[in-house]
């Protein structure tokens, strides 16, 4: 026998279920008066630095139908590539940018919209710069463990071409599943859960 | 939202690898909705980058006085939700056994009759006019939390012809990094409904399921008021950054 490492095991995940909106976006779900507003509804204010953009996300199931009961959270660096987090040791992020957003997908269209800024570049652990990207986490009924993926920007071809995470994708035909096209100030990102265009999801 | 809750040095290491064997697989046909909503290809393994090892912090200033009191936070003045009054308390720990301070916990549940306050809910059990069903809190310096609520009822749901959910409370947990993000459910000691539930049974390992079953703790009850259940939640641990390679120029 040796001494125990005394490690615990992570609590098992369970689906957020059909009523995740009650807990995560109660005002959206019609429960008003408990909290002032839904957390993560606004990421920017009038003083936020950087280029304003909108990101329109849909999560699409194996039949091609957008999920109308999902909750999507995004997390990203500010315009200078800094995170508004205590674990950010490289500098102080823009205090007028939260970096974190949460939206429920629309109960009719399945769309959700994040008003944010275009993130700066963040270094990979080896020091190379990653292309600008947004980290995405998806939960819903039928999703047993929250799904992690990333959105890259369609107008950042040069940066995307040298991104060390995109470079890890062995099947190059899958790279476009992580890249959102730009139209005006809006990026549209369809995340397919399965099928030919199944997005690359991460075990991070 | 970004105030620091202590002066301890923030940790910046990557998270321990997630043991996917103690989580439900994405594709679990016993839970029918997962069939069309499950990625089928292998996940891309990535040691955490700054994008995942960082995460937002929520300050106690977001909390209202009744946010962790579901008995009263939706009730009319002087009234309270109907049902068996309980306290749920515990700690948010990481896999190293360290308490996770400043973790945001959000919880939601059905009322004592098993009915959710939601547009799409069709169960015949009545709404309780004094019960909303959501609450939240932030862990203290030791990772401890508590909330007050009524014990939710079991409810039927469309999956198999006669599937019922055991009584449960949904928990969403925000630790210190986006990679620690977790949603799970708490079940109640002694409930025979746990073992027949297809959603519970998406978890492949009985010992893992038992880690989601809260223990009745009569010592923590408030006499003549509320019984208590203890529910600890474990988030992923993280490597210390202490002895990691320094990047040149960093
Ligand atoms: Fe439920």
Rounded CA-CA distance B180/A204 in Å is 9
Residue B24 within a domain: no
Interface of B with A in 93-112 (CB under 8 A): 93-97, 106-108
CATH number of the domain that A122 lies in? 2.60.130.10
| Domain contains A9 | no
Does residue B114 belong to any structural domain of this protein?
yes
| Residue B172 placed within a domain | yes
Structure tokens at A196: 């030919």
Average pLDDT across chain B, whole number: 93
State pLDDT tens for residues A41-82: 999 999 999 999 999 999 999 999 999 999 999 999 999 999
- Confidence class for position B249, pLDDT limits 50, 70, 90: very low
Cβ–Cβ gap A75/B51 under 8 Å: yes
Cβ distance B212 to A14 less than 8 Å, yes or no, reads yes
For residues B88-110, give the mean pLDDT. 97
**Cross-chain CB nearest to B45 (options A36, A75, A203):** A203
Please report the pLDDT score of residue B30 as a whole number: 98
Domain span at residue A53 reads 20-192
Q: What is the DSSP string of B111-175?
A: -TTS----TT---SSPPPTT---EEEEE--TTSEEEEEEEPPPPEEESSSTTEEEPSEEEEEEE-
Ligand 1 centroid – CA B106 distance (Å): 14
pLDDT at B2: 44
Determine, yes or no, domain membership for B9. Answer: no
At A170, the pLDDT band (50, 70, 90 cuts) reads: very high
Q: Is residue B240 part of a domain?
A: no
Judged by CB atoms closer than 8 Å, whether chains meet at B56 and A98 is answered as: yes
Cβ burial of A25 (10 Å; 0-12, 13-18, 19+) is: buried
Local confidence band at B121 (pLDDT 50, 70, 90 cut-offs):
confident
What pLDDT score was predicted for residue B241? Answer: 66
User: What pLDDT score was predicted for residue B8?
Assistant: 58
**HSE, side-chain direction, 13 A CA sphere, residue B131:** 27
User: Does B224 contact A at CB distance below 8 Å?
Assistant: no
Neighbours of A172 (CB within 10 A): 9
Give which of A69, A107, A20 is closest to B133, Cα–Cα: A20
> How many domains does chain A fold into?
1
The predicted model scores a pTM of 0.95
Rg (CA), chain A: 18
Task: Tell me if A164 sits within 8 A of A128, measured CB to CB.
Answer: yes
In a domain, A13, yes or no: no
Q: How close, in Å, is residue B15 to chain A by CA atoms?
A: 8
Asked if the C-beta of A104 comes within 8 angstroms of chain B's C-beta atoms, the answer is no
B-chain residue closest to A125, CA distance: B49
**In the sheet where A111-117 sits, what is the strand order?**
A111-117, A52-60, A186-192, A182-183
pLDDT of residue B124: 94
Helix (H) or strand (E) holding B50: helix B50-53
**pLDDT tens across B189-222, in order?**
999 999 999 999 999 999 999 999 999 999 999 9
Domains: count for chain B: 1
- Domain assignment present for A199: no
Residue of B nearest to A95 (CA): B2
Q: How far apart are CA A80 and CA A130, in angstroms?
A: 13
Say what the ipTM of the complex is. 0.96
The residues facing B228 across adjacent strands are B87
pLDDT range class, residue A99, cuts 50, 70, 90: very high
**pLDDT, mean of residues A20-24:** 97
**Which structural domain range is residue B68 located in?**
62-234
In a domain, A52, yes or no: yes
Beta bridge mates, A73: A102, A137
What does the block give as tokens for B103? Answer: 């973790």
Q: Which of A15, A29, A147 comes nearest B118 by C-beta?
A: A29
B6 lies in a domain?
no
Domain-embedded: residue A127: yes
For residue A39, list chain B residues with Cβ-Cβ distance below 8 A.
58, 62
Answer whether residue B17 is part of any domain.
Answer: no
Let me know if residue A149 belongs to a domain: yes
Widest Cα–Cα separation across chain B: 64
Query: Is there a domain that residue A6 lies in?
Result: no
Residue B9: pLDDT band with limits 50, 70, 90: low
Q: How far is B184 from chain A (nearest CA, A)?
A: 4
pLDDT at B250: 42
The CA-atom distances, in angstroms, between A158 and each of A52, A82, A155, A163, B120 are 21, 21, 9, 9, 46
Would you say residue B48 has pLDDT above 80?
A: yes
Has residue A8 been placed in a domain?
no
pLDDT of residue B47: 85
A69 lies within 8 A of chain B by CB: yes
The two tokens of residue A189 are: 């990102």
- Rounded percentage of chain B residues whose pLDDT exceeds 70: 92
User: Using 50, 70 and 90 to split pLDDT, how confident is the model at B7?
Assistant: low
């Amino acid at each position: 026998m040796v001494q125990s490492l005394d490690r615990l095991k992570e609590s098992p995940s369970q689906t957020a279920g059909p009523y995740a909106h009650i807990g995560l976006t109660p005002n959206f779900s019609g429960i008003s008066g408990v909290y002032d507003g839904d957390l993560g509804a606004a990421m920017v204010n009038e003083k936020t630095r950087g280029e304003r953009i909108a990101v329109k996300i849909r999560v699409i199931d194996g039949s091609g139908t957008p999920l109308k009961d999902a909750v999507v959270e995004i997390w990203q660096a500010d315009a200078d590539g800094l995170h508004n987090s205590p674990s950010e040791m490289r500098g102080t992020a823009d205090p007028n940018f939260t970096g974190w957003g949460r939206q429920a997908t629309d109960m009719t269209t399945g769309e959700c919209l994040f008003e944010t800024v275009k993130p700066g570049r963040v270094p990979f652990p080896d020091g190379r710069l990653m292309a600008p990207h947004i980290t995405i986490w998806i939960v819903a009924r039928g999703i047993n463990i929250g799904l992690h993926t990333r959105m890259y920007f369609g107008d950042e071809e040069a940066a995307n071409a040298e991104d060390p995470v995109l470079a890890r994708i062995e099947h190059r035909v899958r790279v476009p599943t992580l890249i959102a096209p730009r139209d005006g100030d809006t990026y549209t990102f369809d995340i397919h859960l399965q099928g030919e265009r199944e997005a690359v999801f991460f075990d991070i | 939202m970004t105030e620091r809750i202590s002066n301890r040095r923030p940790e910046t290491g990557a998270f321990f690898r997630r043991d996917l064997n103690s989580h439900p697989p994405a594709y679990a046909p016993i839970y029918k909705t997962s069939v069309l909503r499950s990625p089928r290809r292998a996940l891309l393994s990535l040691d955490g980058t700054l994008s995942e090892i960082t995460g937002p912090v929520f300050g106690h200033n977001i909390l209202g006085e009744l946010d962790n009191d579901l008995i009263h936070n939706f009730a009319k003045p002087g009234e309270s939700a109907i049902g068996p009054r309980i306290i749920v308390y515990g700690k948010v720990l990481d896999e190293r056994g360290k308490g996770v301070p400043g973790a945001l916990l959000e919880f939601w549940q059905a009322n004592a009759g098993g009915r959710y306050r939601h547009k799409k809910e069709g169960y015949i059990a009545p709404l309780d006019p004094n019960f909303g069903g959501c609450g939240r809190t932030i862990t203290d310096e030791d990772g401890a939390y508590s909330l007050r609520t009524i014990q939710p009822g079991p409810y039927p749901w469309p999956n198999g012809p006669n599937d019922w959910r055991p009584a449960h409370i949904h928990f969403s947990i925000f630790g210190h990094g986006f990679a620690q993000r977790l949603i799970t459910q708490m079940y109640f000691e002694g409930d025979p409904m746990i073992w027949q539930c297809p959603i519970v049974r998406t978890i492949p390992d009985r010992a893992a399921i038992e880690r989601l079953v809260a223990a009745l703790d009569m010592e923590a009850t408030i006499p003549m008021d509320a019984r208590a259940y203890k529910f600890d939640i474990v988030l992923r641990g993280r490597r210390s950054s202490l002895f990691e390679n320094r990047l040149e120029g960093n």
